Structure 1
Amino acid sequence: MTSPPAITEHDARPLRGRVVLITGGAQGIGRGIAQAVLGAGGSVLIGDLDVVAGRACLDEWRVGRRAAFGRLDVSREASVQRWIAAARRRFGRIDGLVNNAGIAEPHSGKLTDLALADWNRYLASNLTGAFLCSRHALPDLTLAHGGIVNIASTRALQSEPDTEAYAASKGGLLALTHAMAISAGPDVRVNAILPGWIATDGWRKPGARHAPQLSRLDHAQHPVGRVGTPEDIGALVVYLLGASSGFITGQHFVVDGGMSVKMQYV
């Protein structure tokens, strides 16, 4: 007779012993992701252009060898290669990659005034950077049966005026996600997160850090009753990189407090 399925205990530290690389990891959503990984028992290498912010993370976390920082320009392949090599030397393995770095300002001006150089800058930072980091980390991730999480945006699905370059780069990131999931599977799972309004003011480097200036209306317009936080994104990253999400790949997850399913009639 077939025995009944057993009750499985929840793992409070699902990333114990795993190494996760996070681009743009020194401030904002990236820092929130890094702290979530550390809280889940993992180790992190954060990459960022802002050296002051990166060093501040290590000073404030005080987790010893479980965290490291390396300056990273995701739009330059040589910088990406050095960063990945530093992860191998420091930790000896790579179990997860979070492609979070990119230009955060969505408004690039009217399309008729948008210079080709500015268009290319958005794509290089927000899309090509994810390609380069994934390409160079993939051999290690394959050996570890690891995962990739791309941080896109709800603007990949909906838009305001004058945001073509940002929207195109984030939309491209969704397509890259499902394409890589098919190519890299079954050894590596690839998913994307689409954050909505995330308040990051308190997650900046010490000199720029302050409490968010949010009104009652800012919170109330969200169906969940509040603006998002970096912890909201970090929690989902931990799940997507952990064993509990082993049947999920090629998907994108909207984390916006319900705004994208709310009727917007005025």
Structure 2
Amino acid sequence: MGTLDGKVALVTAGTRGIGRGIAEALLAQGASVVMTGRSPEKGAKALAEIGLTDRTAFLAGDARDKDEVAGWVAGAVERFGRLDILVNNAGGSDGFALVHELSDEAWDNAFTFIVDSAFWATRAALPVMLEQGSGRVVNISSVEGKMGNKAAVSHYISAKHAMNGFTKAVAFEYGQQGITSNAICPGAIETDLMVEVGPSFAAETGVTYEEYKADYAKDAAIGRLNTVEEVGAMAVLLAGPAGGGITGALLNVDGGTSPF
């Protein structure tokens, strides 16, 4: 028996990286999980690797498209009949530069990808959760959502701060209806995405990729990067019965990087 038997979760950007780790952690506790992503090929690969065909599904689409995001919620309910857990994991940024050189496109993309996508998914999920009288919203923020001490990522820092504010607003509005809203703030994790974008970000700040990773590890009290499994464990806590009294929280899984 798992703590999430009979529950249904939607994990955006769930085919790899942090999202995949969360999806697998929820599945291990008995939940059914719908994963989303832009690549049908990566979705099919993830489903095949997980192998739990009766409790998994994949929906393709772009988190920066309002209608596609709302369609994910409808698709999850259509597939499994309910929606108990929403994990807003999609989000990222590009065009890394200092503020005086940062483009409108990079700024807008970060906010659409991180903040708007979470808003659209949450807005669509809340009526379902309200009808059920229960629900869990888990936003994947970042240690950067509490700090502002990295150069060339002001758009990412600002968007994650906004996501944290949205998390608290949802918690306040829906706490008495049995719905919780929390954010997990991971530290640096070497996901597939970090491997892809890390070198270009490192180059923008004048260091090598290895130096970039070592800098994050040095900032952490544990002296290393975090893992997707550690984030998945926190998501399971927030999604399950033990998380019922936790809402409006910004919970660090950052190895002691953030001072608060």
Runs of 5+ unmatched residues, structure 1: 1-11, 205-211
**What SS is found at the alignment partner of 2:54?**
helix
Question: How far apart, CA to CA, are the structure 2 residues paired with 1:23 and 1:136?
Answer: 13
Task: Tell me what 1:229 maps to.
Answer: 227
Q: How does 1:191-206 map to 2 (within 5 A)?
A: 191-201=182-192
Q: How does 1:242-253 map to 2 (within 5 A)?
A: 242-253=240-251
Shift of 1:189: 0.4
The structure richer in helix per residue is 2
Task: Tell me what 1:90 maps to.
Answer: 79
Pick which of 233-242 and 155-164 moved more: 155-164
- TM-score, normalization by structure 1: 0.84
Contact 1:74/1:132, CA 8 A, preserved across alignment: no
Question: How far apart, CA to CA, are the structure 1 residues paired with 2:64 and 2:213?
Answer: 36
Q: How does 1:39-118 map to 2 (within 5 A)?
A: 39-103=28-92, 108-118=96-106
Shift of 1:50: 2.1
Q: Closer, same or farther in 2 for the Cα pair 1:220/1:34, shift >3 Å?
A: same
**What SS is found at the alignment partner of 1:141?**
helix
Structure 1 or 2, whichever has the larger Rg, is 1
Question: How far apart, CA to CA, are the structure 1 residues paired with 2:144 and 2:70?
Answer: 30
How large is the Cα RMSD of the aligned pairs? 2.5
- TM-score, normalization by structure 2: 0.86
Is 1:179 aligned to 2:158, yes or no? Answer: no
Question: How far apart, CA to CA, are the structure 1 residues paired with 2:146 and 2:55?
Answer: 36
Percent identity, aligned pairs only, is: 35
Contact 1:151/1:192, CA 8 A, preserved across alignment: yes
Deviations 1:92-127, CA, capped at 9 Å, x for gaps: 00000000001155x720211222122111100000
Shift of 1:64: 1.5
Q: Closer, same or farther in 2 for the Cα pair 1:50/1:177, shift >3 Å?
A: same
**What SS is found at the alignment partner of 1:259?**
coil
Question: How far apart, CA to CA, are the structure 1 residues paired with 2:179 and 2:220?
Answer: 34
Task: Tell me what 2:202 maps to.
Answer: none
Shift of 1:16: 0.8
Shift of 1:143: 2.8
